[in-house]
Amino acid sequence: MGVAEMKMLRWMCGHTRKDKIRNEDIRVKVGVAEIEGKLRENRLRWFGHVQRRPTDAPVRRCNYGTEVQGRRGRGRPRKTLEKTLRKNLEYLDLTEDMTQDRAQ
C-alpha cells in the first residue's frame, strides 16, 4: 500500500524513482502524512468508540476472534481484526484500558 501511495505522490510532483528523491522529502513537499499511520489512527479511534459502548450493544457482542470450524485453507493465515488492533496498540505503547479515557 505504501508503494502505491509513493508512486502517486511522485507522479503528482513530476518526479520518478530515477530522480532519487527521498520519500520523506516528497511527503513534506506535498504535505501529506503516511497512509499507514492514518489507517492506524482511524482504526484505533473506531476501536475506542466500540469499547466505550455498553457490553450488550450489538457491536460489542461480536467476538473479534471467532473460530471457524472446518479445515484451514492453504497458504498464509488471514489477518484478524483482533491481531491487527493488538499490533496497533503495541506499536503506540497503549493498552485497552486507555480506550475508556477520552482525554488521552
pTM metric for this prediction: 0.70
- Please write the tens of the pLDDT for every residue from 21-50: 988 899 899 888 888 889 999 999 998 888
pLDDT for 42 equals 93
Residues 6+ positions from 33 with CB-CB distance below 8 Å: 27
pLDDT for 75 equals 92
> How far apart are alpha carbons 28 and 37 in whole angstroms?
15
- Please write the tens of the pLDDT for every residue from 66-92: 666 788 889 998 888 888 999 999 998
pLDDT at 103 over 70: no
- b/e burial code for range 57-66 (CB count within 10 A of at least 16 → b): eeeeeeeeee
pLDDT for 39 equals 92
